[in-house]
Homo-oligomer: A and B are copies of this chain.
Amino acid sequence: MYAEERQQEILRRARAAGRVDVVKLAEEFAVTTETIRRDLTVLERAGVLRRVHGGAIPVERLGFEPALATRDEVMTDEKERIAKAALAELPEDGSIIIDAGSTTRRLARALPGDRELTVIVNAPPLATMLATRANLNVIMLGGRVRGRTLATVDDWALRPLEDLNVDVAFMGTNGCSVDKGLTTPDPAESAIKRAMIGAAERTVVLADHTKFSGVYLARFAALTEIDMIITDDGLDPAIAADITAAGPEVVRA
């Protein structure tokens, strides 16, 4: 196992469990604690973890509580499959929007290295991850950074979207229902999402099946505005049929 692989796995576990323990990691990877500590230092310098006495915590779990972090420990397999399926919707050489969120982050990570793409994001961690890829042109939307979701919101993020025409927007959502459409708890994020969809020729929503049972405060799109919803095979076929009837194609990865 290479050092980098071990670090990836440490990061994965940290995000899944909310925290990792130096001694436990050392045992499980069969290396000394010094090695684990060095890995944690690397991950901390990369800005994805924060070291604490005895272990480390992913940055997104700091400050405000389990907002982004707990979302990431559930449905991991499904999210991975959804992200992989979404790759089929990438344009050949064009521009895409990737919304903030745990499923869309997996999509961002899986972007191929040999296709020229312009990627518009509103999450600083995504920008950091993608900017070093030689084949990608990364555009970050500015604005106030919400601590809870690590996404930019407000006016400065909205205005540039008015002047953009991108090929595909890959969106996350908190809730998805036939009646209420796509919803999210925060009105500011809702505004950004709406603007993203407005700037895109085509909109693909990435949502595991648990998202279809919830409705949240702010609606950012009706189903008619969506071209495709990619979900997992846990979605009730009846609901899928209702959604398809309302407009978007449903792909069950």
Q: Which residues of A contact B (CB under 8 A)?
A: 2-5, 7-8, 11-12, 19, 41-43, 45-50, 52-55, 57-70, 72, 109-114, 124-125, 127-135, 137-147, 150, 152, 156-157, 160
Contacts and interface: CB of A to CB of B under 8 A. Distances in A.
Contact of A3 (B41, B53, B125, B132): B53
A209 to B, nearest CB: 24
A46 B135 CA distance: 8
B139 A145 contact: yes
A127 B145 contact: yes
8 contacts: A11-B64, A48-B64, A65-B129, A124-B128, A127-B145, A131-B145, A140-B144, A142-B143
Given A4-B62, A137-B144, A140-B143, A129 B47 contact: yes
A65 to B, nearest CB: 5
Nearest to A56: B2
Contacts of A63: 8, 11-12, 48, 109, 129, 131-134
A138 B154 CA distance: 12
A2 B57 CA distance: 10
